[in-house]
Chains A and B, each alone.
Chain A
Amino acid sequence: MTEEKKSGLNTNSNPYIIIYSSILVIVVAFLLAFVSRSLKPVQDINVALDKKKQILASLNIRGLDDAASAEKYSQVVVADMIIDEHGDTLASGSKGGEKDAFVLNSASYKAGKLALFVCNVDGQTKYVVPVYGMGLWGAIWGYIAIDSDKSTVYGAYFNHDSETAGLGAEIKDSKAWQDQFIGKKIFSAGSDDVALKVLKKSDVKDPVTQCDGVTGATLTCNGVSAMLEEGLSKYKVFLLR
């Protein structure tokens, strides 16, 4: 620091350091608050759009660009209802729903407010339910689309926060893996327990309800199984009615 002498102040005195750091921190805090506030609306739109894309992906509608996704979502979703564990309707939702079930998150899900997206794909009624759980490293979630018979899986989409790339992350990245859920039954015949789960290939005894796991991602897949069981059980009254 050869230039120190040029400024008349002693830049190493304690008062100078305290004042300097305080001003610096305050300036930075205001800057960040400003940036955060001004970009929030754009970010919220992105988050909502991403959620719409995920819901559409569970209905096997993938690969649309931003504008097309938003439009498709408003066409496909007939109502974003909220129900409770007894199957009672708490909110009936609206066409192209973005107000009721759409804004729910995993916290409201734990509190017993269950999101239910009633969708219409090519004239057929489908139900999409969200599920939330824990993977190996962090949160995982998914959307399960169910046929109008309320027991056959029409499509599934899974996503994760921080699963291992190439292993656990395959639950999101591998379309082929998600596609094997198509046509599976949620309940096994004669039982009203959720039977849909993910198992090691050699353990798959009942291919009607069980899916092959991702090799090398057993713990993530166990998380998916637990998530499916816990999540879909909440909808049991609705699904079995």
Chain B
Amino acid sequence: MGKIFSKENKEVFVKPLSLDNPVLVQVLGICSALAVTSQLKPAIVMGLAVTVITGFSNVIISVIRKTIPTRIRIIVQLVVVAALVTVVSQVLKAFAYDVSVQLSVYVGLIITNCILMGRLEAFAMINKPLPSLIDGISNGLGYAAILVMVGFFREFFGRGTVLGIQVIPQSVYDAGYVNNGLMTMPAMALILVGCIIWIHRAYFYKED
């Protein structure tokens, strides 16, 4: 296992963080990115939950990939993902109850998050467990990064807080500043994701 930091693995890890980001470039997982990012804390928890689930499901599918009958492979993937999601949701309910209330149905909906099925089909089914683990974690982190960015801006402008702590001082409100209520709506998340995609493309795809 001396190859953990081999060139290929490093590439597998780095690519989804930016150049092949699941949200920005593969445009997967947009739905939940809009729904859970009205505040930073649920965005972080959601990002971590997806990272854990992509990591584990990629490893599990990769380990059993040779035994999976081709005809029912999607079902097998779905069962593995659904089981992991249920476990994560139960763990959240036990140890982060307020966050699980905030995330409500979206934890369950990780099952339908396209990043998971996308990575399982595209990567874990044809690669060894270790690269699959790296691919899963890094795709999860790439997703989490976008969620955190969007969550930060939405909470900052929508509520004047970051992680629930007031950062815009009262004196600014006294001077006539008003929180932007639109920021707390999912529509604004779509616009923010659009802006991030725009900046990302403008920076990385200049030659196009």
> Across the A-B interface, how many residue pairs have beta carbons closer than 8 Å?
74
- Say whether A35 contacts B69, CB under 8 Å: no
Instruction: Check A36/B70 contact, CB under 8 A, given A28-B83, A162-B104, A165-B184.
Output: no
- Say whether B79 contacts A28, CB under 8 Å: yes
Interface of B is mostly: helix
Tell me, yes or no, whether B181 is within 8 Å of chain A by CB.
yes
Point out the residue from A11, A36, A42, A43 that lies within 8 Å of B68, measured CB to CB.
Answer: A11
Interface size on B, residues (CB 8 A): 32
Interface of A is mostly: helix
- A166-B97 Cα distance, complex, nearest whole Å: 21
Contacts of B79 in A (CB 8 A): 24-25, 28
Tell me, yes or no, whether B90 is within 8 Å of chain A by CB.
yes
Contacts of B38 in A (CB 8 A): 165-166
Minimum Cβ distance to chain A for residue B41 (Å): 14
Q: Mark A41-54, 1 if CB is under 8 A from B, else 0.
A: 01100110110000
- Say whether B70 contacts A12, CB under 8 Å: yes
- Say whether B91 contacts A166, CB under 8 Å: no
- A165-B185 Cα distance, complex, nearest whole Å: 7
Minimum Cβ distance to chain B for residue A176 (Å): 13
Instruction: Check A50/B90 contact, CB under 8 A, given A11-B68, A31-B83.
Output: no
- Say whether A43 contacts B70, CB under 8 Å: no
Contacts of B69 in A (CB 8 A): 11-12, 16-17, 20
Tell me, yes or no, whether A1 is within 8 Å of chain B by CB.
yes
- Say whether B87 contacts A42, CB under 8 Å: no
- Chain B residue at minimum C-beta to C-beta distance from A42: B94
- Say whether B72 contacts A17, CB under 8 Å: yes
- Chain A residue at minimum C-beta to C-beta distance from B101: A50
- Chain B residue at minimum C-beta to C-beta distance from A20: B69
Tell me, yes or no, whether B29 is within 8 Å of chain A by CB.
no
- Say whether B97 contacts A1, CB under 8 Å: no
**6 further interface pairs, Cβ-Cβ under 8 Å (given A17-B72, A21-B72, A46-B94):** A7-B66, A11-B67, A35-B90, A42-B95, A43-B97, A165-B186
Return 10 A-B CB contacts under 8 Å, by A number: A7-B67, A11-B67, A12-B69, A20-B68, A28-B80, A43-B93, A161-B104, A162-B105, A165-B184, A166-B185
Q: Report, nearest first, the 3 A-B pairs whose CB atoms are least far apart.
A: A46-B97, A42-B94, A39-B94
